[in-house]
Amino acid sequence: MVLTQTALERELLLVPVPLTGAGTTDERARRQPSAERAVDAVPTLDEATASPWGPGRVAQVGLAVLAVLAIGVVVQIALLSRLEYRSSQVSSLNAFRTQLALGTAPIGPVGTDRHLLALGTPMAVVTIPSLGVRSVVLEGTTGSVLTGGPGHVRTTVFPGGAGVSVLYGRAGTYGGPFGQIGDLHRGQIITVTTQVGTSHFRVVRVRPAGAIVRPPAPGTSRLTLGTATGGFLTPSGVLWVDADKIGKPLAAASPPNTTLLASEAPLANDTGTLWALLLWLEGLAVLLTLAVWTWRRWGHAQAWIIFTAPMLVVWVFVSDQIVRLLPNMI
């Protein structure tokens, strides 16, 4: 029987023809998606090295944080420290005026409770008309005390009493109240007011650290002002100004027999608030971690809205604590 072309084609379609490949067309179709998924599951070189928290990313974030802290220190020195100084002076002056009016201001290094005055207690007002200086003097000379105004060395007499009274003041940071005392000339007047009375001192010399100076004559009173000299943040020494009292000494109490803290010495560093800096840095790290998590999980706008204000507050306090670690006279 002779098959026609059409019948032959129909017969061929009924006969299964084995494939020479690895499987049937259906098997290949079933295997293809799984093979593609296996290939897709293998990370490429770019994907493997593009981890958001790899060493490079961590280094970038660390450098960014250091840069922000450096900017904060500059802003703190140039602007915020001056505002902090003025605020402290206003509150100290109001408190000291009230005490003067009530007759309860300190008259010596020991208070009415027979204990040494607390560091930072307002005890006098110093005025230098030729320099436009009028500042409340606080008890003590640590870096933290001098952020609020000039400080009185606790082992010296109160200003106006018989002997030598020594005041330290900052040269540039936190208002820099003694930053211009090097411009004083012989004969210019310095006035100091305490609960005991008002004393006028006449400048007798401006001298560098280490210069030989004779002590005042017995029964006289001298005021010595000290501040940093040299570079703004790299002090090379201390500049001193001596002024002798016009008239007789006041009946001020004698200095106490006590030992000064290491942080009260000239150009000393005050590490008493180092714990506060560590706490603020921990808070900054926590906020930074939460901000990054929010940035990736919720979105950029949400992270800015939630964390901008808290980060600014922590940034200001961290910068302030870093500046407080600088030498107490700069």
pLDDT per 10-residue tile (average), the chain, 330 residues: 51 50 50 49 46 66 78 85 95 96 89 83 97 97 96 94 95 95 96 96 92 87 95 88 95 79 93 88 90 88 90 89 91
Q: What separation, in Å, do the N-terminal and C-terminal C-alpha atoms of the chain show?
A: 119
In a domain, 281, yes or no: no
* Burial class of residue 89 in the structure, from the number of CB atoms within 10 Å of its CB (0-12 exposed, 13-18 middle, 19+ buried): buried
As for how many domains the chain has, the answer is: 1
CA dihedral 253→259→264→265, nearest 10 degrees, is 110
pLDDT digits (tens, 9 = 90+) for 261-315: 899 999 999 888 889 989 998 998 899 889 889 988 898 899 889 999 998 899 8
User: Given this model, what pLDDT does residue 210 score?
Assistant: 78
User: Given this model, what pLDDT does residue 11 score?
Assistant: 53
In a domain, 238, yes or no: yes
User: Given this model, what pLDDT does residue 26 score?
Assistant: 53
In a domain, 294, yes or no: no
In a domain, 76, yes or no: yes
User: Given this model, what pLDDT does residue 16 score?
Assistant: 54
User: Given this model, what pLDDT does residue 121 score?
Assistant: 96
pLDDT digits (tens, 9 = 90+) for 80-106: 999 999 999 999 999 999 999 999 999
DSSP for residue 147? T
Instruction: Report the CATH number that the domain containing residue 99 is assigned in CATH.
Output: 2.40.260.10
* Burial class of residue 41 in the structure, from the number of CB atoms within 10 Å of its CB (0-12 exposed, 13-18 middle, 19+ buried): exposed
Domain that holds residue 210: 72-264
CA–CA separation, 316 and 97 (whole Å):
31
In a domain, 211, yes or no: yes
In a domain, 49, yes or no: no
Residue that the structure tokens 């295997």 belong to:
31
User: Given this model, what pLDDT does residue 131 score?
Assistant: 96
CA–CA separation, 16 and 258 (whole Å):
111
In a domain, 236, yes or no: yes
Write down the pTM of the prediction: 0.78
- Is residue 327 a contact partner of residue 267, using CB atoms and an 8 Å limit? yes
In a domain, 181, yes or no: yes
